[in-house]
Structure 1
Amino acid sequence: MILDDFVYFDDKGLYCKYGDFYLDPQQPAKTAIISHAHADHAVSGNTNVYCTRATASIMQLRYDRTAARVFHIAEFNRPFVVGGVTITLVPAGHMLGSAQILMEYRGARYLYTGDYKLQPDATCEPVEWVTADVLITESTFADPAVIHPDPVAEIIKINDIKVNILLGAYALGKSQRLINLITEHAPQKKILVHHKIMPINLIYEKMGFPPGKYQVYGRKLMKVQDEFVYVVPPFTFDSYIRATGVKRLFASGWKNLQVNNQDTLFISDHVDWNDILQTIAQTQPQQVWTLHGKGEHLRAYLKDDIFVKILN
């Protein structure tokens, strides 16, 4: 039987009272099951954290001693129990170590996707499918008007840009994916990486997912026109708003983050409308609960076929 209040939001985040734990809490909690290491899902200061080894390693890098009091490392597809709820972490394909969280309780299966991606990505574990009675899906781009382009076709466009490129990207997940895509599909480009990204790259390499060919940024290098691509995090990208002699690009699925109309890089690490429909077909849920976006389009599309509940 599906429990309508199996998870709900309180002042700390998404809470499961039946197991007394939080899913990606927004405030420090006694027990947290964390889907992946992006800061909007993985805060510091939790007492007990259940997550993959990669997620723990990145949290320890970013938060040091405050990452968590105790990490409980879980392997993919190996069930464990928290407060009477059976938990299984399933690859989400969003970034290294990202996991969907399957929760089984009193004969019902609830699948929390966290952030997830169906597009191929050589820098993380590919998404895997499991069936569930309730699909609790992110809905960042749950809009029929949003269909992500092929990332390979997007990255190939930089082959036509002969000047040096200042490429803005989130340091964790997106930067490593871009390094890999450029290495594979624009091999003549010489990739430079901001020093803040380097420690994350080292974790990827240690975990068996080397991003590709790159070197640490040096100021003298970018003064030469040699088809360099300098990958920088957002704060550095914004500080170079008046940079001359370079093409400024920002890689994102969001239109408002594209910095010029002539050259865009629509590369997203989230599911689009078609991906969500494919996920529903694969997981075969009786109900769909949405969060981190808008669920109205899914509710209108699914109508009476599948019940849709909008959690936030």
Structure 2
Amino acid sequence: MTEDFFKLTEIGLYCQRYNFYLDPQKAVKNAVISHAHGDHAVAGSENIYCTAATQAVMELRYKKNAGKYFNIVSYNQPFRIGETIITFYPAGHILGSAQILVEIDGARILYTGDFKLEEDKTAEPFEFVKADILITETTFASKATQHPMAINEIQKLGRFANSNVIFGAYALGKAQRVTQLINEHCQSFNVLVHYSIAPIHKLYEQFGVNLGKWQIYDRRTMKHTSNNVYVVPPLTFSSYRHSRDAFKVFASGWENLQDYCDEKLFISDHADWQQILTLVKETEAKEIWTLHGDGGELKEHLQTSHIVKILNE
């Protein structure tokens, strides 16, 4: 019975037979973690299975409380918890993000975590995997959602040439992606980053990611020169909402986060509707479980061809 493989508890997806969780929301004995964003990687578990980049970010953020034992696993390298075989594959979401393939009793269950198919030079490219059961995020699973190309979005900065820009972006993943995009496609701008983002930039570079030129923010540079893009986390961005000294830009897949902006950049690190359908097709899974978002529209769309279960109803 597929219900015996995993069940969704208040802590997260749980495999009772072998006592491990996928992306648990509380510290547990055995945690298999897809990536280092805080809603997927909490501190304090006893045995953590993840990629090296995920460990590095967790230790950067959580320090000694990150976890007791880290079991670092490379992509395409199977490992065991009990009698189950688990393999990580690139998810394309952020550096080190992994899809998690779990093989139990001959069944292949693929948990995507957060993922995207669009090219991103700061993350390992997505790899398609065959599965019997697909557990997919549905953050943007709506026919109305089609994300534009990030390259086209970042080029909108050109309208602010010879000015300064306050650029809001999440500190992990988005900030590194937009830094690389600006350096490649908007080369007239200088990239400055908030002090809280700089350590993550350095970590990315330690893993061989070429972000291009950037420097830690200093007031003098912004005050006395132009063509600067100051990349800041969302809370800092909010503090600039009434500032008239620079244009304000925010990068997100969510329109409701784009208030008080002079330009909205729809740069998403999640799959849109078409990418999710491509994933369903390529995995060849006949049973789809949805998580992280509203799976109702996907269930209706696939009702004649697939078994679809909405786990978080």
**Matching residue of 1:206:** 206
| Counterpart amino acid of residue 94 in structure 2 | M
Q: CA deviation at 1:224?
A: 2.7
Distance in 1 of aligned mates of 2:91 and 2:41:
15
Distance in 2 of aligned mates of 1:170 and 1:9:
28
Do the aligned residues in 2 keep the contact of 1:201 with 1:210 (CA within 8 Å)?
Answer: no
For 2:265, what is the secondary structure of its paired residue?
A: coil
- The answer to whether structure 1 residue 51 and structure 2 residue 37 are counterparts is no
**Matching residue of 1:179:** 179
**Matching residue of 2:291:** 291
Distance in 1 of aligned mates of 2:239 and 2:227:
21
CA gap of 1:249–1:261, structure 2 versus 1, over 3 A, is: closer
Do the aligned residues in 1 keep the contact of 2:102 with 2:110 (CA within 8 Å)?
Answer: yes
Q: CA deviation at 1:262?
A: 5.2
Distance in 2 of aligned mates of 1:186 and 1:6:
48
Deviations 1:6-57 (A, max 9, x none): 1122232111112210110001111000000000000001110000000000
Do the aligned residues in 2 keep the contact of 1:77 with 1:88 (CA within 8 Å)?
Answer: yes
For 1:300, what is the secondary structure of its paired residue?
A: helix
Distance in 1 of aligned mates of 2:82 and 2:242:
54
The CA RMSD measured in Å over matched residues stands at 1.1
- The answer to whether structure 1 residue 148 and structure 2 residue 155 are counterparts is no
- The answer to whether structure 1 residue 189 and structure 2 residue 189 are counterparts is yes
Identity %: 51
**Matching residue of 1:244:** 244
Deviations 1:196-254 (A, max 9, x none): 11111111111111222111100111113411000001121112222222111110000
**Matching residue of 2:122:** 123
For 1:292, what is the secondary structure of its paired residue?
A: strand
Deviations 1:45-81 (A, max 9, x none): 1110000000000000000000000000001000000
Do the aligned residues in 2 keep the contact of 1:25 with 1:32 (CA within 8 Å)?
Answer: yes
| Counterpart amino acid of residue 109 in structure 1 | R
Alignment of 1:28-107 (within 5 A): 28-107=27-106
For 2:263, what is the secondary structure of its paired residue?
A: coil
Q: CA deviation at 1:84?
A: 1.5
Q: Which runs of 4+ in 1 moved over 3 A?
A: none
**TM-score normalised per structure 2:** 0.97
- The answer to whether structure 1 residue 276 and structure 2 residue 276 are counterparts is yes
Alignment of 1:154-165 (within 5 A): 154-162=153-161, 163-165=163-165
**Matching residue of 1:22:** 21
Distance in 2 of aligned mates of 1:144 and 1:23:
28
Do the aligned residues in 2 keep the contact of 1:18 with 1:85 (CA within 8 Å)?
Answer: no
For 1:304, what is the secondary structure of its paired residue?
A: coil
Distance in 1 of aligned mates of 2:172 and 2:87:
24
Distance in 2 of aligned mates of 1:74 and 1:99:
10
Q: CA deviation at 1:161?
A: 1.1
Deviations 1:89-131 (A, max 9, x none): 0000000000000000101000000000111000110000110
**Matching residue of 1:263:** 263
Do the aligned residues in 1 keep the contact of 2:130 with 2:282 (CA within 8 Å)?
Answer: yes
Q: CA deviation at 1:4?
A: 2.2
| Counterpart amino acid of residue 241 in structure 1 | R
Distance in 1 of aligned mates of 2:117 and 2:140:
13
For 2:3, what is the secondary structure of its paired residue?
A: coil
Q: CA deviation at 1:261?
A: 6.7
Distance in 2 of aligned mates of 1:224 and 1:104:
59
**Matching residue of 2:222:** 222
For 2:309, what is the secondary structure of its paired residue?
A: strand
Moved more, 224-233 or 128-137: 224-233
For 2:35, what is the secondary structure of its paired residue?
A: coil
Distance in 1 of aligned mates of 2:308 and 2:74:
31
Distance in 2 of aligned mates of 1:237 and 1:298:
34
Distance in 1 of aligned mates of 2:8 and 2:27:
14
Moved more, 9-18 or 292-301: 9-18
**What stretches of structure 1 of length at least 5 have no aligned partner?**
none
Do the aligned residues in 1 keep the contact of 2:148 with 2:266 (CA within 8 Å)?
Answer: yes
For 1:137, what is the secondary structure of its paired residue?
A: strand
